[in-house]
Amino acid sequence: MQSTPLNFDYQSTTPCLNEVVEVMRPYWDESWGNPSSRQNLLGIHASAAIGLARDKISNCLNVQPKHVVFTSGATEANNLALLGYARAKAYEKGEPGHIITLSTEHHAVLDPLRQLRREGFQVTELGPNPDGLLSLERLNDAFQHNTFLASIMLANNEIGVIQPLSLIAQLCRDRGVLLHSDAAQAFGCVPLNPHTLGLDLMSISAHKMYGPKGIGALIIKDHIPLQPLQWGGGQEFGLRPGTIPVPLAVGMAKAAELACQDQEIRNLYLKNLRDQFWCGLTNNLENISLNGSFNHRLPHNLNITIHGVQGNRLHRELKSLISCSSGSACSQGSPSHVLLALGLNLKEASASLRLSLGRFTTSKEVATAIEHISRVVNKLRE
């Protein structure tokens, strides 16, 4: 009997790599200065560390260092992008306008947009195609004379589908609409260059790519007006005041470097394991289906519905064997809005598993997980 469940929940978060922990270490005790206190040596050292971290992250993304604004994570980056730009634009125009998004976005996008709706903005939440991808035609039809912003995620956190962002960006550009993308699940996992993708604003997070929790960034193209969400010491170009957590920024930069270094080979490894997982499950079990496009998908994501079983019993039986989830880590146990948007009913959505793989997943673990899931499902179907 194994003591700890096998981890197939790498999309909710990842462990900090040892190399990341090591580079962060001196910034907790030896070099504990405040990066804004540049009158003393400790502060100068801390400020230099932040500068270097910003340089490294910008190198990984092919942007300039001044385009990287540190935040507490992708949630805050999304809020800053959406609330910040919408409010700045409304101030300039004298009235709120129209925003387009996708109904399968993470709540860190949907909820700030719902707040903007309460502030008078019009928000259209477009449903996806049954494979989770956004229809370009539907997007084209959704533009209004007053549309000024669209927010479309790069890779979905539940079903892993990768949206055709450069085509989406082209449509937005043609209409003079600014495009934000939540790339929390994509940064470090797929090659990412916001400029070639045509993004104006992009949110990223460190803890999805083996970095520390509590730090992320908003990538901002030049000349985009943003109203800050907080006011204070003017840090982060006046957009995100407050003392930057130096160890976390240093750790995020190291995690980004490591993630970008072995991306191609890791993706191949993960894709093979993911395919082993899917083939094993479909060989052993009838009546299971894959949620989301198979071809336009993160290499480490599987999301499956197991028909003919009760979701709560399935999850209860698997709990001690496998760590996985039925939806986003932030959905607080309610049925996945993403799966419902794909057309699944409540029963199907709750009998679904998000199985996400990571750098430490082995083929043996996948084989064991296939056995566990098959045994549990056969038992529940008896």
The catalytic residue positions are 330
> Cβ 360 to ligand PLP, closest distance in Å?
19
Give residue 297's identity as a one-letter amino acid code: R
Q: Which is nearer to ligand PLP, 259 or 376 (CB)?
A: 259
> Cβ 109 to ligand PLP, closest distance in Å?
7
Q: Which of 231, 249, 255 is nearest to 359 (CA)?
A: 255
CA distance 292 to 362: 24
Q: Which is nearer to ligand PLP, 224 or 329 (CB)?
A: 329
Q: Which residue is nearest to ligand PLP (CB)?
A: 73
> Cβ 156 to ligand PLP, closest distance in Å?
7
CB proximity list for 112: less than 8 A, separation 6 or greater: 78, 79, 82, 83
> Cβ 136 to ligand PLP, closest distance in Å?
21
> Cβ 215 to ligand PLP, closest distance in Å?
8
CB proximity list for 34: less than 8 A, separation 6 or greater: 42, 43, 46, 243
CA distance 114 to 118: 6
Other CB atoms within a 10 A radius of the CB of residue 330 amount to 12
Size (the chain), residues:
382
> Cβ 79 to ligand PLP, closest distance in Å?
9
Give residue 13's identity as a one-letter amino acid code: T
Asked if 298 and 8 touch (Cβ cutoff 8 Å), the reply is no
Q: What is the dihedral of CA 244, 246, 249, 251, to 10 degrees?
A: -160
Q: Which is nearer to ligand PLP, 230 or 363 (CB)?
A: 230
CA distance 251 to 23: 6
- Residues of this chain that bind ligand PLP (CB under 6 A): 73-75, 106, 108, 153, 157, 182, 184-185, 205, 216, 329-330
Q: Which is nearer to ligand PLP, 24 or 90 (CB)?
A: 24
Q: Which of 334, 375, 339, 362 is nearest to 8 (CA)?
A: 362
Instruction: Give the helix/strand (H/E) hosting 304.
Output: strand 301-306
Q: Which is nearer to ligand PLP, 47 or 325 (CB)?
A: 325
The b-or-e profile of 66-101 (16+ CB within 10 A means b, else e) is ebbbbbbbbbbbbbbbbbbbbbebbeeeeebbbbbb
Q: Which is nearer to ligand PLP, 8 or 143 (CB)?
A: 8
Q: Which of 260, 294, 264 is nearest to 279 (CA)?
A: 294
> Cβ 205 to ligand PLP, closest distance in Å?
3
Q: Which is nearer to ligand PLP, 200 or 317 (CB)?
A: 200
